[in-house]
A and B are shown apart, each in its own frame.
Chain A
């Protein structure tokens, strides 16, 4: 591996030019010559994404996307949520190189923040702030948008709180500690219906009847009915547009962070912690920022997800979710935003609809199989196999960033496990 991709190798006229790489280099030249592609391509993708309900759900291509691939409103929403989660985890795992096996904790915390500040859970309280419910309900009801921001803040705080004692650990020890937190936090929510006599989370029954996003009468009137008063479970497009906007914000923040001073510090820490520290990168602060920012996106996604599902249950936040999000980041290509998005869309589609669809196709294609092939039942085994195969044959992911690829080719990473021996 290492002698194939050595830094001295000529880049352009290498002896082995596969069709893909020649295609790639000519595409790169085209992009260089035509500057308008810099804004036209992202714009086209954004327009395509926002107009999906008109060309994919119904309309010309619905027979492929809605009927064939099964990407309906629910799946679309879930895919977008998971793109957000994957982008958040990408900051932690991809940029800063901290393996986080408990990311689901922040997803859960975000959802429960909505439970605390946007539902009838504390029904003896009567606190309202710009909420868009039809009637004045008992409980704490803040405006949904405030709650989303609050969820991000709570998760960032929790991230710092968790990270402060543990981020000194490295590599697999950190992975285990984050896994521990990923198990503890849902466990606390599960048992939280009786903490010193207080019901904080409603236990295994979960929190239901959550507030939905909405813009209120005033904004609805001012925009001529474009912004809905409140979202409903019947009209799902506003949900999709909301989460898509959030995904775009996440992408934007990810991109800007990657090229910021902090982003370069993350990459330096990922590549060689000791060298980065010697160059004056404050290790703890850099890692804590990565952890906190990753947590924020988990919190955002959790709040929106909880509202959409209209029920938060401790069982929905299992270790498997952490691993699925990790699979997305790894399959796509750690550290590369476009790879992670592609990985997240692929894996979440497989997770929510794809495996069912593939099972259906197999049942139809193999005569006499009836409905016996239920491969979605074994999806975790399939994801596990995917992880193993990826790690064996392409550990840098499908669309890796050039830098990450070089790191893997170099085979670095035989670092010590913790900084301070006590």
Chain B
């Protein structure tokens, strides 16, 4: 593969310059215009700019958690796990069930397990307990789903052409969406707000509330735990080795199947945590929420450099900011267009993302 690529490279480099120059000129002009627009807005109304930025960072940390699931899986088996966003959606549904009914529910099974006291008039301690339960059980639930999907669908297809598992992932995405549809129904699923909403600080018209802070306060320990897991533990080492070279790692005695399942478990747990935080923070969920949010999170992963963990976090925050600035200073109707334009621009101009990819080597 490597020799073939170097052989074809000179021809490609000779042919491309004109189109490349035009593309880069267009890209730089666009970037300059956007930069000017942002600075102008920041000078015109700094307090509003601050508020929008804070919203962006808060939403961005949720994107970051979901994006990590994409990037972990992509880093290890180079598969865009389309079902990940819908897995996240099932996590929001699980949290919804825990907050509304105080029970852990399994779709299609009539039995449910009592976890918490239903919330009417509960004390602060009970609320903290409920939040903790939401996080824990959403994570567990999504972890089990993600690992099952990997075992049923992706594992048998590991040696097939890459489009085959990709299409399987799209199939699972639709299946999970309908699981959500059957489980909770087609309408929006509201849940009561149990996060504290008092203001932490305010400056002119901008204010920062406790629930915004809690989103970040939950996200950061999770990120630290993940970093520790990947950088310092044996399983993390096995993961990094498998991502680098699956065959060589299996020859070194790493159980590749188990390592891949472990990666899916990690990704699922992060999706579950993101689902819990999203449901608690936004206060409503819907069965088709996962598709769009999943694609946004995937965009974040690509933005940061797919396969790169810190890149996914950076990409998530940047994407949250992009969305917040679009909605705050322009028009919320255009968010989808803007986000996907960013995705396309990144793939066209810098496919390795902001921080560059770390994982695939020698390809």
Contact = CB atoms under 8 A, between A and B. Distances in A.
B337 A187 contact: yes
A246 to B, nearest CB: 28
B80 to A, nearest CB: 5
Contact of A177 (B157, B163, B331, B347): B347
A181 B344 contact: yes
A101 B80 CA distance: 13
- Most central of A101, A176, A275, A378 by chain B CB within 10 Å: A176
A407 B168 CA distance: 18
Given A172-B162, A176-B302, A387-B170, A381 B348 contact: no
B347 A274 contact: no
A413 B16 contact: no
Contacts of A417: 351
Interface string A159-200: 000001110010111011101110110011011000000000
Contacts of B340: 180-181, 183-184, 187
A237 B135 CA distance: 59
Contact of B347 (A173, A275, A411): A173
A387 B161 contact: no
Interface string A311-327: 00000000100010010
B177 interface: yes
A171 B178 contact: no
Interface in B1-26: 1, 4-5, 7-8, 11-13, 16, 19, 23
B298 A176 contact: yes
A384 B336 contact: no
A408 B177 contact: no
B166 A99 contact: yes
Given A177-B343, A177-B344, A277-B8, A172 B80 contact: yes
Given A165-B23, A378-B178, A387 B171 contact: yes
Most chain A CB within 10 A, of B161, B168, B174, B182, is at: B174
Interface stretch (A58-66, A147-155, A209-217, A388-396): A388-396
A381 B175 contact: yes
Contacts of B334: 187, 191
Contacts of B350: 422
A16 to B, nearest CB: 22
A385 interface: yes
Given A166-B347, A278-B8, A413-B161, A172 B167 contact: no
A388 B351 contact: no
B175 A384 contact: yes
B20 to A, nearest CB: 8
Contact of B172 (A382, A384, A419): A384
A190 B166 contact: no
B178 A384 contact: yes
A145 interface: no
Contacts of A384: 170-175, 177-178
A326 B167 contact: yes
A418 interface: yes
Contacts of B298: 176
A233 interface: no
A330 to B, nearest CB: 6
B177 A381 contact: yes
Contact of A414 (B162, B168, B170, B302): B162
Contacts of B348: 165-166, 169, 177
Nearest to B336: A187
B156 interface: yes
B123 interface: no
B175 A169 contact: no
A418 B153 contact: no
Contact of A392 (B80, B153, B363): B153
B194 interface: no
Contacts of A181: 340, 344
Contacts of A407: 161
Contacts of B341: 180, 184
B161 A164 contact: no
Contacts of B195: none
A101 B169 CA distance: 13
A383 interface: yes
Contact of B161 (A278, A383, A388, A408): A408
Contact of B295 (A183, A275, A392): A183
A421 interface: yes
Given A165-B348, A166-B344, A378-B182, A413 B177 contact: no
B181 A381 contact: yes
A420 B16 contact: yes
B111 interface: no
Contacts of B166: 99, 172, 175
A378 B157 contact: no
A387 B178 CA distance: 14
A412 interface: yes
B349 interface: yes
Contacts of A165: 19, 23, 344, 348
Contacts of A392: 153, 156-157, 168
B161 A412 contact: yes
B160 interface: yes
Nearest to A416: B363
Contact of A420 (B12, B80, B156): B12
Interface in B142-192: 153, 156-157, 159-168, 170-175, 177-179, 181-182
Nearest to B186: A377
Interface in A91-148: 99, 101
7 contacts: A164-B19, A166-B348, A187-B336, A378-B181, A395-B164, A408-B160, A411-B160
Given A177-B347, A180-B341, A184-B340, 16 more contacts: A101-B170, A165-B19, A165-B348, A171-B163, A181-B340, A187-B340, A188-B337, A381-B181, A387-B174, A391-B164, A391-B165, A392-B157, A395-B164, A411-B159, A416-B5, A416-B363
